[in-house]
Amino acid sequence: MAGQFGGTYRRAMVTLVPPVVAAAVVVGVYAALAHRLPDRVDGAGGVVEAMPWSRVLAEGLVWSVLALIWGVVWLYVRRRVQGGQRWIAATTWVGSVLIVGYVLQLVVRNLDLAGPPARPALWWTSPFAVVPVLAVVALVSWWAMGPDPEQPEAAGGPRPGAPRLQLSDGERALFARTVLSRRGVASALLWAVLAVWQAVFGSGTYIIVALFALVAIIAAAQSWARVLVNEHGVQVIQPLFRRVLVGAELRTVVEARAGTLDPRALPRATYGAFHMPHESGYRATAGGEVLRLRLSNGREFIVTVPGAATAAGLVNTQLDRRRATAGDDRC
């Protein structure tokens, strides 16, 4: 219990401190450099013209408060979904960096300025510089959240009628399939087009371009995955980055079964890796074959994958072997 509380406290701090720091930086930078700034903010391209600094401060503080509220609300909503909490932290970290970056670039472009126009946009405000920084920030936040709490080991096993594979003693099997979400690819292309349009023709700031580009990268990475089933459990891996998107350890699985996914069973926009209060997993298609795992904590892990029946049979076979090995060890 103490360890779980410590993990919850750590995750709350990691998620909620960045917006507070962002607000403090916005106020602190202006307070330290106010005597070197003109009375009003001047823009070079007509995007920001003659805006009072009080409005810049107010916007920075409002966005910081909104990021803080966002973190509090979603941490509560996802309090039982440990994996989904990492995305909440990533959004507050990325949002805080964008808030600070926006205010800083206005300050630098107007520092010691005798009159309009302001200095041109700085190199570090271009999407080519911002997007990699935001990606690194998101990865750091992911790491800072710490490991997920260990799930309890399954006490029971598959029912006698559950699907299984016929494997001889000592024979090993591996199930691997590559899945592609066409809707995920289409979404990634849409966000990429919006980012390019904003960068070339739009009047939005670098924040809008960077956000569109980051969403496009995330959508593209989520749309392509490899489903792997072996003696360790089930994993959905992003092949390019070789990172596990979602997974279920074999020791936490009670039983596996295959079926057909009802398109109405999940929210229409839920594609790629997802975490919900009662289930998590990976969805590549609206319907079709689906692998379902019943876990020891009462939740379900589902993956849309061709050959789901074979995957379910392999999982149950591995569970039988695990229980038989545990029984031999007790003897």
Question: What residues contact 19, with CB distance under 8 A and at least 6 apart?
Answer: 64, 65, 67, 68, 71, 92, 95, 96, 99
Mean pLDDT for 133-146 is: 90
Domain presence at residue 200: no
What is the per-residue pLDDT for 4?
A: 47
Q: How many CB atoms lie within 10 A of CB 261?
A: 20
Structural domain range at position 253: 175-181+223-330
Question: What residues contact 60, with CB distance under 8 A and at least 6 apart?
Answer: 22, 23, 26, 27, 99, 100, 102, 103
Domain-terminating residue out of 98, 121, 144:
144
Question: What residues contact 55, with CB distance under 8 A and at least 6 apart?
Answer: none
CATH number (domain holding residue 291): 2.30.29.30
Same domain, 29 and 124: yes
Q: How many domains does the structure of the chain reveal?
A: 2
pLDDT exceeds cutoff 70 at 206: no
Domain presence at residue 192: no
Domain presence at residue 37: yes
Domain presence at residue 74: yes
Same domain, 115 and 11: yes
Q: Which of 18-27, 38-47, 116-125, 222-231 has the lowest mean pLDDT?
A: 38-47
Confidence of residue 92 (pLDDT cuts 50, 70, 90): very high
Same domain, 139 and 252: no
| CA pair distance 304, 246, nearest whole angstrom | 13
Domain presence at residue 169: no
Measured between alpha carbons, how far is residue 187 from residues 184, 232, 264, 305, 324 in Å? Answer: 5, 33, 20, 20, 46
Same domain, 11 and 101: yes
Same domain, 38 and 135: yes
Same domain, 36 and 125: yes
What is the per-residue pLDDT for 131?
A: 82
Q: Which of 40-49, 128-137, 274-283 has the lowest mean pLDDT?
A: 40-49
At 103, phi and psi to the nearest 5?
A: -70, -40
Is the whole-model pTM more than 0.75? no
Domain presence at residue 319: yes
Domain presence at residue 278: yes
Domain presence at residue 212: no
